Structure 1
Amino acid sequence: MTLTGIAAQVSTGTNPLTHLFAGAKRLGGVYHLDYERAVIITDDHTKRECGGVPRHGFLLAAATVPDQESQQPLDEDEVILLRVRNVAQLPNQAEVVATRLAAMRDADLRDRPPSDVLDALTSSQIELSAFECEVLGTFYPSTAGGHQFIQWGADLDNVYAGARYFVYTPSPEVLSFIASYPERTEDEIDRGDEPNLITLGHVRFASTRRRAESAGLAQVPVHVRVTDFISRKTAVLGMTRAGKSNTNKTICTAVFEHSRMTDESIGQLIFDPQGEYASVNQQDQTGLRLLGEEWVRIYKFRADPANPQEEALTLNFYNQQELVAVRGLIEECVSDLDAGYVQAFRAAEVTEPDQNDYATQGAFQAARQQASLGRFALYALLAKAGYKVPTGWSGIRIQMAGAMSTLLLADHPDAVTPDTTAGYVRINTADGLQNAMTWLCKRLTEAASKAGLPQQYASLDFTKWQNAGAWNAIRAAYDGTGGTAVLNHLKNYVEFHDPRSSGNFVPKVLKDLADGKIVIVDLSYGSERVGTRMSERLVRGLLDAANNRFRSNLPARKIQIVVEEAHRLFDRENSNKNDTDPWVRLAKEAAKYEIGLMYATQEVSSIDPRILSATHNWVIAHLNSDRETRELAHYYDYAEFADEIRRSEDRGFVRMKTFSGKYIVPVQVAKFDHSMINNARIAAGLLPIDAPNTGI
């Protein structure tokens, strides 16, 4: 983006501060000034002429020639930036209030407007008012690279008597300069660089916009530098439907456009819990996937095999390394069933136990055996439901007495294979799983009947199987003794299983990111537990790869990660207890690896304060709780905005502080639209395309 307006004018050789008063309107004067606050005096007529004085509005104070402020040089080469905080008391406030009361009384008694019963002097007196303002800092002229520019200091280095200062409301052009400062830094001027800026939105001081519109201040653009969001942490905070996703999409598109313009690979990994990033939704009438199949890859369950942009995010249900995710998906599958046997089925423990949870080695080995029998029953149930066993599957190894395996093989010659360890067998086919499971179920049913076991099986001891809790819980679903609902439900989830999947989709994702692509992980299908498992695995793989490059002294690969519903992942309790958690690692190690993190949540108080303290960019929309705004008040001067953040529910109305920005700026974030997509496509060397369903 080419610099325009004030940013482009200040290098003309004249005092750059004079440009700040072009088109400015004089609001009043300062009658008190210290290092932190200023009190200004004005009147109702002047306020109307200036378009109103909204809370948190920006004002300029300077020691200027009173009659021709915009034409004459400044008495002092500095301009103080003020932010309106609240109304203030006049020195003669009691007298003014008494006069106002008298005027209102007389007007009421005579049934006439106050202007008809007041003389001009009295009318002028009662219209006086004052505002308390926060001193944000000082603009002053400086030189870099042989060019003049407007420098910023976050304080005052001197305080004159208040009567020397006059106060102005900036013109739309100057207001844009203030809200976007610095559009060009001193270092960039020295190097001759032009920063890549995007118009994130427009200045918005208040929910009520009537006076801003009449004064021509409702569409003042706010420019931010894209590089502020790259390799840094960004918090996008606000209630549901407050515009967080809109902001994220706008920034993601801008980062992609920047990467293509600079030919720098910046991969973006977006965890999409609702599927809104992966699709062209009705609200946006556009979507990130329209950036092109060569630049956007979507990993999802139920991927369309005919769509080259989509990759299947499937599981090999027989891969023991994916057992946690598999169990999560199965639990979701039967979540609408409440029969007792279903509850037992869901509670059956089939994962490998942790030895640290057991006091003795014997207890640990017993738990391992119980879990292995449970896995055997689960895999047999899956085979019965139509889940294809992978070719070359290593199978499941279970303990089975020699006499029992001999009789089983007599009935089903290929059901099991004797293991190298005596007393163990291995099962590695679908027929073997079902034949062995069916045979055992039948034998236990016979053993429990009055007739007992047939003679050829009478010598067998089934006590271990009768006491195998996990195995029996799953058996009730397998043989129908509990019911057939679980089996029927599982048949509807076969599409989540891919026997060819190694379960290791991480390398493919890492390659896409290294190539500078946008990778969207669509988690809208499947349970939250499955989505969490998939996300954790990706983040862990990403961090391990970044760590390997770091230790090998290789340059870091810039990657941006976008996380919705971050309070589920970055909670304080987990951060304090588990440093091995991938999300905790990401929060702590991302900067070292040049991994940017943009996290969105409505629960600021749930985020570990170490993450919040390391956040560079803040985009704060509506929050409805004083608990959340109190937490937010610990950072910068957001305490000043707490009441408005709770009160204003306008979608996209945010208070923003960026890495380069010097102060908080109230912004109405621009709506994510198709023109952003087409601008990014052009930067990538692609032709613009029509917006879906609009024909534009």
Structure 2
Amino acid sequence: MPADFSNQITSQINNDLSKKSKLFNLLNESSLIGYSFNVSYNSISILTNDFWKREVHGIPHNSFLIATSFDKNELATVDQDNKEIILLRVVKEASIPDEDIWVETRIAKIKSLKSPNLDALDNSSVDFDNYTLNEMGYTGLECSILGTFFEDDNNNELNFGSDLENYFGTKSLYIYKPLGSSLEKIINFIDPYRIKSIQNDLNNMGINLSTEKIEAKYEIGTVRYTSTNRLQKSTSSEVKVTVNPFDFIARRTATFGMTRTGKSNTVKTLIDAIDRNCKSTGITLSQIIFDLNGEYANPNLQDINDSGEASSISTSIPGSIVYTLNPNIQASKDIRLLRFNFFKNIQLAHQFITSIMKNENTSTAADITSFINLDINAWFEDDDEMDSSTKNRITIKKNLYYILLHSIGCKSGNSKISFPFSKSVLKKSFPDIIKKAEKNPDINLDSDEEILKNIYLTYKNLPPRVNPSLPKDEVFRGLKAIKNVLTNQNKSLLSSSGKEMLDDDMKVLFNLITQSNDKNSYIQGYKAIAKLGVTKYHEINSNDYTEEIVNYMKEGKVIILDVSLGIQDMRTRITELIVEKIFINNQKEFTEGIPTSKVIFYVEEAHNLIGKKMEPREIWPRVAKEGAKYGIGLVYSTQEPSSISKNVLSNTENWFITHLNNEDEIRVISKYYDFGDFKSSLMKAKDVGFARIKTMSQNFVVPVQIKKFEG
């Protein structure tokens, strides 16, 4: 048989086998770059040379290689025992015998140069002969073993094992560099067992999808091995890297890296991919972004769309709902001003007011300091054994706080407010005035006593234990009159039992409202609070935003909480209220045996929320540790991986890591998966968007240039 005809037949057989076999198909677009000379269960040392390197445009650090025990051009001769492909990663140089000799040879040539120009004619006498050039061209590379591709004998499905099952000491392996379609198939491969696992997880969540829909992937970027990306980028087509959005449902995802290295861009690309996947598969899943910088809620120049316009997640995903603290933004159908009815939640009101006071470095006067330190939460503790006197005092404190809110300009929608002190308190504290009023209601007294007399007389037409609702001005005048009369008489306000009525909390509020201290000297009082403009966060007709968000969450909306203009304490309180409400809702659904609502939280500066020092009972650590059980996913970002609780890191399934400039932080990352292979790269490469990613469906870490989010 003529050689050409035989070669044609062999070539045809190879083509047929590579098309039929998913395993052999991985070799279609690959080039030989060397052979193994040392194999172990964890690593393979290979021998390559300059010619092979040039043919494949170089072998970058951290690049993928594949090893086979057969020649890819002789597939027909491959026996069953050898039908596997080993995936490798180049991690460092490997020593080879006699390399010291050739180093000495190069040094000797340099010492013998007669001209600085290496190629000058004067140096021809010291040129290397062909044998020497050939020998010097061989170098060794050390590769870590990432796993083995093989076909299932029962169904011919392609599988991936994360180790090496066997090797022979007498056999050198062929080493190929995968390119184009071969590399794309390798890095984006999802094992059939993982597909079944996703399907089972979705079924448990009440979501039923076909295998075809579960295998859907979305582009996240392109393969990038090194910061210096000249040869790879200019001489070969970019290889797409995809993610499976189902990996992020009820899972934890970390995005680590220095500022301005592309963490936010990665998150935006991820949000977009998950949203598109949910819409294409009919899954109801909400994504809630806690936006600390306003870049997700507001169009910005770093997210330019195809039309050259500034965009954002809110403008790119139809139906997104934005909640904002920004008082300069106009409310609309999709934008809700984050306002609160302070009268319905004075705990939240107090936290807002005191947070702003701390941030603005308000007056350090004793009454202001005492006000900031008020423990309002203690007023709302449920205690069945609490006596009536204590309950009554708490009611007075709440009423005083309502009056303070009125005094700083918060509108309640009611022209009248409740007077805080009871008839019996007035009677016990001002017996002379009350006797005169009871004896002759029409008697004229001096101004302060007249005010107290008239307030007392309003109680006559009311049922017992009911305080009158009076016009605001009358209440303010009444409290000031009490302060003046008590000061003049050198007495204290007394309870019905004759004990001191005002405790420390009441005194603070009483003083602020009346603008006078315990000695009745003038203080700024409520005006020191009013000038801070806290009323812009109060709206009497505002709905319970947490209830609204829970409802939007159940509808699968993308919700952006723009707290960019809020101070840290305010942000923390708002986000905790939302997260706690959703956590309780999903926990209730779970315990009732109904499918839980699906939601993913996105948080930045995660070290403030799930750091090592956070108490396990706090809401964010609970979400990080227990949320997956209740259908809650978490995507958290920080510059400091070491600050995150080890328990959270150990249970994080998806990782996106860009440049870190600290060896301690990189040491933390290196403990997980095969990120240790990238230690030097993570430290040196500062390129924006150059990330190393590992998701639930990926079997190994992939170096990626994350694509730019463009709306």
TM-score of Structure 1 vs Structure 2, range by shorter chain: 0.7 to 0.9
Alpha-carbon shift at residue 14 of structure 1 (Å): 2.5
The residue aligned with 1:323 is 347
Distance 1:344 1:165, change over 3 A: same
Q: Structure 1: which amino acid aligns with 2:108?
A: A
Q: Is the 8 A contact 2:216 2:244 kept in 1?
A: yes
Inter-partner Cα distance in structure 2 for 1:410 and 1:465: 22
The residue aligned with 1:597 is 634
Distance 1:237 1:430, change over 3 A: farther
2:295 is the counterpart of 1:276: yes
Deviation by residue 1:144-185 (Cα, 9 ceiling, x = unmatched)? 7x6x44321111121023653121111122122222122876
The residue aligned with 1:242 is 261
2:567 is the counterpart of 1:567: no
Inter-partner Cα distance in structure 2 for 1:282 and 1:416: 66
Alpha-carbon shift at residue 247 of structure 1 (Å): 1.2
Q: Is the 8 A contact 1:278 1:520 kept in 2?
A: yes
Inter-partner Cα distance in structure 1 for 2:391 and 2:594: 45
2:279 is the counterpart of 1:260: yes
Unpaired segments ≥5 residues, structure 2: 1-14, 200-209, 304-309, 435-447, 517-521
Out of 643, 656, 669, the residue aligned to residue 632 of structure 1 is: 669
Distance 1:658 1:331, change over 3 A: closer
RMSD (Å) for aligned C-alpha atoms: 3.8
Out of 153, 161, 176, the residue aligned to residue 161 of structure 2 is: 153
Distance 1:354 1:639, change over 3 A: farther
Higher mean displacement: 91-100 or 653-662: 91-100
2:438 is the counterpart of 1:438: no
Secondary structure of 1:574's match? coil
Higher mean displacement: 110-119 or 228-237: 110-119
2:192 is the counterpart of 1:168: no
2:226 is the counterpart of 1:206: yes
Out of 22, 38, 45, the residue aligned to residue 16 of structure 1 is: 22
Out of 134, 142, 145, the residue aligned to residue 152 of structure 2 is: 142
Out of 103, 111, 114, the residue aligned to residue 105 of structure 1 is: 111
Distance 1:299 1:306, change over 3 A: closer
Unpaired segments ≥5 residues, structure 1: 1-8, 448-452, 675-696
Out of 285, 288, 304, the residue aligned to residue 313 of structure 2 is: 288
Q: Structure 2: which amino acid aligns with 1:310?
A: I
Q: Is the 8 A contact 1:183 1:225 kept in 2?
A: no
TM-score (norm 2): 0.80
Secondary structure of 1:21's match? coil
Out of 364, 376, 400, the residue aligned to residue 351 of structure 1 is: 376
Distance 1:322 1:105, change over 3 A: farther
Inter-partner Cα distance in structure 2 for 1:241 and 1:260: 31
Alpha-carbon shift at residue 10 of structure 1 (Å): 10
Q: Structure 2: which amino acid aligns with 1:41?
A: L
Q: Structure 2: which amino acid aligns with 1:177?
A: K
Inter-partner Cα distance in structure 2 for 1:328 and 1:402: 37
The residue aligned with 1:475 is 511
Q: Structure 2: which amino acid aligns with 1:520?
A: I
Inter-partner Cα distance in structure 2 for 1:150 and 1:99: 48
Secondary structure of 1:572's match? coil
Alpha-carbon shift at residue 475 of structure 1 (Å): 2.8
Inter-partner Cα distance in structure 2 for 1:44 and 1:344: 74
Inter-partner Cα distance in structure 1 for 2:467 and 2:379: 24
2:529 is the counterpart of 1:521: no
TM-score (norm 1): 0.82
Inter-partner Cα distance in structure 2 for 1:426 and 1:623: 64
Q: Structure 2: which amino acid aligns with 1:487?
A: A
Inter-partner Cα distance in structure 2 for 1:187 and 1:90: 43
Aligned-residue identity in percent: 26
Q: Structure 2: which amino acid aligns with 1:344?
A: T
2:101 is the counterpart of 1:95: yes
2:694 is the counterpart of 1:671: no
Alpha-carbon shift at residue 428 of structure 1 (Å): 7.6
The residue aligned with 1:132 is 142
Superposition pairs of residues 368-517 of structure 1, within 5 angstroms: 378-391=401-414, 400-404=425-429, 410-411=450-451, 413=454, 430-431=472-473, 433-443=475-485, 447=487, 453=488, 468=504, 471-472=507-508, 475=511, 479=515, 481-483=522-524, 486-487=527-528, 489-490=530-531, 492-501=533-542, 504-517=544-557
Distance 1:239 1:216, change over 3 A: same
Inter-partner Cα distance in structure 1 for 2:153 and 2:235: 34
The residue aligned with 1:532 is 572
Deviation by residue 1:16-75 (Cα, 9 ceiling, x = unmatched)? 33322323222111111111111111123322332222111100111233xx73876656
Q: Which has the larger radius of gyration?
A: 2
Inter-partner Cα distance in structure 2 for 1:627 and 1:415: 70
Distance 1:557 1:381, change over 3 A: closer
Q: Structure 2: which amino acid aligns with 1:550?
A: F
Alpha-carbon shift at residue 206 of structure 1 (Å): 0.8
Higher mean displacement: 86-95 or 323-332: 323-332
